[in-house]
């Protein structure tokens, strides 16, 4: 039921009840930039390429396109399911055969889009079916989604599609409702059927925006927290004694608000970025996102799109 990002919207006048035409224009621009950034990142992933160089180029492309990163480029390999972005001076390089999840988002004036694709480095083709499983699950979910739909039904479709390839969906990772300045705005899009995930996912409504992101694995079908990664979210100003850390906190609140950012982005915002980030973490000013690891060490694939629910179906934004 999905249509292209430039299709005409039905009954635009009623849209104002939830989202304005100006907001929709910004979401559509964010979606187009996100899709181009996603494809650029995928094209740069080659054996020997440095993760930091790829991240810097892709995030730079987003800024050059008139948008801002909604979160740092995630480049999570193999059993790392999500939330790895390179650190400042990161020595890591891509290795042939890795299964890399490229997860990226852009926002325009706080209206974010979110998209992902999985790349097998060097074209080794050892995980072709695993990658196809999450891609086809996403296609099936986007095709069926529309207004007044139980999100648990979307989860059942994703689970069934992934299982048909002989793999497991990751039950404790979900898609999510998106609002202005909120990537995760309450409702979840499960990757498993009713009663198998966390809580009751709810129902779609017209003019809501969702990120749908199936994850497939040859492991246990669950993730757990690994070490704290290089992605942070500002939690609110607190008393911080160190003046350099205090300046960084004020800059982060001004520049990123509630949206995630990379430790790499703190360069130039204060004199001692690494020390000040650590001080803000200890003071509770920053929340650090842990790298999410497949529980049994299985390889993980992911695909994701952002969709706008309309009164008659859904419109693909990415």
Whether 304 is catalytic? yes
Whether 114 is catalytic? yes
- According to the 3-state scheme, what is the secondary structure of 92-159? CECCCCCEEEEEEEEEECCEEEEEEEEEEHHHCCCCHHHHHHHHHHHHHHHHHCCCCCEHHHHHHHHH
Cα gap 140→284, rounded to integer Å: 41
Domain assignment of residue 259, given as a range: 228-290
Cα gap 18→11, rounded to integer Å: 13
- Residue 4 in any domain: the answer is no
CATH number at residue 59: 3.90.230.10
Question: How confident is the model at residue 281, as a pLDDT?
Answer: 87
- Residue 15 in any domain: the answer is yes
Determine which one of 103, 120, 136, 159 is catalytic: 103
Question: How confident is the model at residue 196, as a pLDDT?
Answer: 61
Cα gap 257→179, rounded to integer Å: 14
Determine which one of 59, 136, 159, 213 is catalytic: 213
Residues 6+ apart with CB under 8 A from 142: 2, 212, 305, 307, 314, 316
Verify that 176 and 256 share a domain, yes or no. no
CATH number at residue 232: 1.10.10.10
Rounded to 10°, the helix 151-164/128-144 angle is 150
Whether 184 is catalytic? yes
Determine which one of 114, 120, 136, 159 is catalytic: 114
Determine which one of 79, 127, 176, 305 is catalytic: 176
- The bridge status of strand 215-217 relative to strand 300-302 is antiparallel
Verify that 102 and 167 share a domain, yes or no. yes
Cβ pair 301, 119 in contact under 8 A: no
Question: How confident is the model at residue 7, as a pLDDT?
Answer: 36
Verify that 211 and 259 share a domain, yes or no. no
Determine which one of 90, 109, 129, 184 is catalytic: 184
Verify that 57 and 122 share a domain, yes or no. yes
- Residue 42 in any domain: the answer is yes
Whether 176 is catalytic? yes
Q: What is the mean pLDDT of each run of 10 residues along the chain (318 residues)?
A: 32 50 94 98 97 97 96 97 93 96 96 96 91 98 94 95 98 93 86 70 90 97 91 83 86 84 87 86 89 97 96 92
What's the pTM? 0.88
- Residue 1 in any domain: the answer is no
- Helices and strands counted in the chain (H then E): 7, 16
The structural domain count of the chain equals: 2
What token pair was written down for 170?
């990751």
Q: Max alpha carbon distance in the chain (Å)? A: 56
What token pair was written down for 29?
């621009």
């Amino acid at each position: 039921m999905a249509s292209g990002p430039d299709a005409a919207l039905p009954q635009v006048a009623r849209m104002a009840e939830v989202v304005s035409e100006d907001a929709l224009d910004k979401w559509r621009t964010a979606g187009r930039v996100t899709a181009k950034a996603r494809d650029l990142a995928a094209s740069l992933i080659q054996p020997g390429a440095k993760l930091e160089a790829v991240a810097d180029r892709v995030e730079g492309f987003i800024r050059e396109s008139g948008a801002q990163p909604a979160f740092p480029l995630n480049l999570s390999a193999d059993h790392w399911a999500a939330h790895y972005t390179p650190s400042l001076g990161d020595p890591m390089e891509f290795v042939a055969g890795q299964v890399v999840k490229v997860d990226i988002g852009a926002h325009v004036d706080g209206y974010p889009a979110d998209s992902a694709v999985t790349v097998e480095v060097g074209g080794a083709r050892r995980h072709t079916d695993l990658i196809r499983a999450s891609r086809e699950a996403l296609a099936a979910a986007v095709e069926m989604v529309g207004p007044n739909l139980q999100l648990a039904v979307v989860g059942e479709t994703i689970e069934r599609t992934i299982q048909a390839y002989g793999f497991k969906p990751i039950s404790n990772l979900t898609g999510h409702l998106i609002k202005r300045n909120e990537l995760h705005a309450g409702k979840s899009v499960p990757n498993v059927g009713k009663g198998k995930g966390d809580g009751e996912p709810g129902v779609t409504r017209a003019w809501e925006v969702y990120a749908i992101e199936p994850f497939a694995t040859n492991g246990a079908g669950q993730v757990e927290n690994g070490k704290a990664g290089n992605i942070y979210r500002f939690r609110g100003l607190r008393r911080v004694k160190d003046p350099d850390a205090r300046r960084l906190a004020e800059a982060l609140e001004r520049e990123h608000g509630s949206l995630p950012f990379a430790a790499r982005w703190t360069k130039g915002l204060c004199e001692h970025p690494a020390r000040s980030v650590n001080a803000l973490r200890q003071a509770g000013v920053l929340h650090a996102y842990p790298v999410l690891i497949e529980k049994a060490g299985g390889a993980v694939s992911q695909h994701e799109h952002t969709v706008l629910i309309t009164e008659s179906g859904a419109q693909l934004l990415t």
